[in-house]
Amino acid sequence: MELSPMRIAVHGASGFTGSLVVAELVRRDLTPVLVGRDPDRLRRIADQAAIPDAEIHVAHLEDTAALTAAFASTDAVINAAGPFTRWGEPVVRAAIAARRPYLDTTGEPAYLHKILTTYDEPAKQAGVTVIPAVTDDGVPGDLIASLTAARLGAPITEVVIADLRRPGAASRGTARSMAAIMVAEQIEYRDGSWQSVQEPESTLLEPGEAEPVPMSTLALPGVYTIPRHLETPRVRGVIRSEVGELFASLNSEVAETLPEVPDAAALDAARWFMLAEVTGVDGRRARGWVTGFNAYASTAVIAVEAARRLVADGAPAGTLAPAQAFDAASFLDHLATTGVTWQVEELAAV
């Protein structure tokens, strides 16, 4: 198979999400370079993706020189090895040392916040872009918030970013990551800093539904990324309470009982749904949403398109929110080619 010269390193290529990223790179005629700690597992993924000649680099997290060398021969790095709170930072450091753009598939709030703040200066000095959480919630949530605020076109008093997916299949890797990060304290953005939430429970009207949905506060990626490009005193993240309770019930023992690869039919049938509600100082409101099926397949599409755009078009150096790196409408329109839909509308004023 003849692949394009654009070479994208996939660290954690042997995992469920990493293997989907490899397959998506092949689908897009881009060249995956598989990086990880286990040569047999990496080889198996290359064979599954029908790229038997794929370049494979075995590099352990403790071996910065090997990781850096593996990344230096590529154009960008997608990191899919979680829990990121445990394994993420050596990979960020190696990508910066190799002066290659770094993206990852984290959903872990404290890690995301740490990367955005701690690695901004080192990334700027190295002249590289770092974008964590290029996932089905991280990118659509941030981009739709930006488009919804633009529709309102007025100073903002609050942004609510909501994850409205219903309970569905999750991978063992997701469960391990959720178990690693579950904390009693939930965080929101208020008056210039990230603080404990005041209202843990709320309700939200889902588009097309008559009854309000019970929602619980969760520090979704948008809570950290949206204040980087929208001037607002408040950003709250909320998740359907039914799903939030499931996440909260996960611990490391329960995580190990989940399948490494979730049932494909269940994933294909499960809709993800990210909604942003923006309120202006004049009381006007707008909401926008993005929705698709199979959150893991969408994450692979999003991560690959984000890496491709960074390499092809460039972006400012430093840590960035998705809306700081990409044209929001153009990026979401790309997702539409894989069945994702999005829309923005004005609501009745409060």
Ligand X SMILES: NC(=O)c1ccc[n+]([C@@H]2O[C@H](COP(=O)([O-])OP(=O)(O)OC[C@H]3O[C@@H](n4cnc5c(N)ncnc54)[C@H](OP(=O)(O)O)[C@@H]3O)[C@@H](O)[C@H]2O)c1
Distance CA 111, CA 105 (A): 11
CB-based burial, 163-197: b 16+ in 10 Å, e otherwise: bbbeebbbbbbbbbbbbbbeeeebbbbbeeeeeeb
Question: What is the smallest separation between the CB atom of 13 and ligand X, expressed in angstroms?
Answer: 6
Distance between CA atoms of residues 23 and 1, nearest Å? 13
Q: Is residue 18 a contact residue for ligand X (CB under 6 A)? A: yes
Q: Distance between CA atoms of 265 and 256, rounded to whole angstroms? A: 21
Kindly state whether residue 130 participates in binding ligand X, applying the rule CB under 6 A: no
The answer to whether residue 115 forms part of the interface with ligand X (CB under 6 A) is: no
- Contact status: 173 vs ligand X (CB under 6 A): yes
The residue among 279 and 291 lying less far from ligand X, judged by its C-beta, is: 291
Cβ closest to ligand X, residue 93 vs residue 172: 172
Minimum gap (Å) between residue 227 Cβ and ligand X:
19
The binder of ligand X chosen from 93, 172, 228, 284 (CB under 6 A): 172
Which of 87, 213, 233, 327 touches ligand X (CB under 6 A)?
87
Question: Smallest distance, Å, CB 157 to ligand X?
Answer: 28
Interface with ligand X (CB under 6 A), residue from 8, 33, 71, 83: 83
Tell me which amino acid residue 189 is: Y
Our finding on whether 291 is near ligand X (CB under 6 A) is no
Q: Which amino acid is at 84?
A: F
Cα separation, 318 vs 110, in Å, equals 18
Spell 285-317 as b/e; 16+ CB within 10 A means b. bbbbbbbbbbbbbbbbbbbbbbbbbbbeeebeb
Which residues 295-334 are close enough to bind ligand X by CB under 6 A? 295-296, 299
Q: How far is the CB of 8 from ligand X (least distance, A)?
A: 15
Q: Which of 68, 148, 171, 225 binds ligand X (CB under 6 A)?
A: 171
Q: Min. distance of Cβ 20 from ligand X in angstroms? A: 8
Q: Which of residues 137-156 bind ligand X (CB under 6 A)?
A: 137
Applying CB under 6 A, among 40, 192, 260, 348 the residue interacting with ligand X is 260
Strands 156-163 and 234-240: parallel
User: If DSSP codes are grouped into helix, strand and coil, which group holds residue 67?
Assistant: helix
Nearer to ligand X, 18 or 280 (CB): 18
- 346 with 151: CB under 8 angstroms? yes
Dihedral of alpha carbons 50, 56, 58, 60, sign: negative
In order of 31, 301, 303, 312, the CA distances from 315 in angstroms are 21, 19, 15, 9
Using CB under 6 A, which of the segments 16-24, 150-158, 241-249, 320-328 binds ligand X? 16-24
Q: Is 79 in the site for ligand X (CB under 6 A)?
A: no
Q: How many CA atoms lie within 13 A of 33 on its CB side?
A: 20
Q: CB of 61: closest distance to ligand X in angstroms?
A: 5
Q: Contact, 18 vs 10, CB < 8 A?
A: yes
Q: Give me the 198-237 binding string for ligand X, x by CB under 6 A, dash otherwise.
A: ----------------------------------------
- Could you give the C-alpha distances from 55 to 32, 42, 52, 136, in angstroms and in order? 8, 10, 9, 27
Nearer to ligand X, 180 or 320 (CB): 180
Q: Does 38 bind ligand X (CB under 6 A)?
A: yes
Give the x/- contact pattern for ligand X in 48-67, rule: CB under 6 A. -------------x------
Cβ-count burial of 93 within 10 angstroms (0-12 exposed, 13-18 middle, 19+ buried)? middle
Nearer to ligand X, 136 or 142 (CB): 136
Closest residue to ligand X: CB criterion = 173
The residue ranges that bind ligand X (CB under 6 A) are: 12, 14-18, 36-38, 41, 61, 80-84, 87, 105, 107, 135-137, 171-174, 177, 260, 295-296, 299
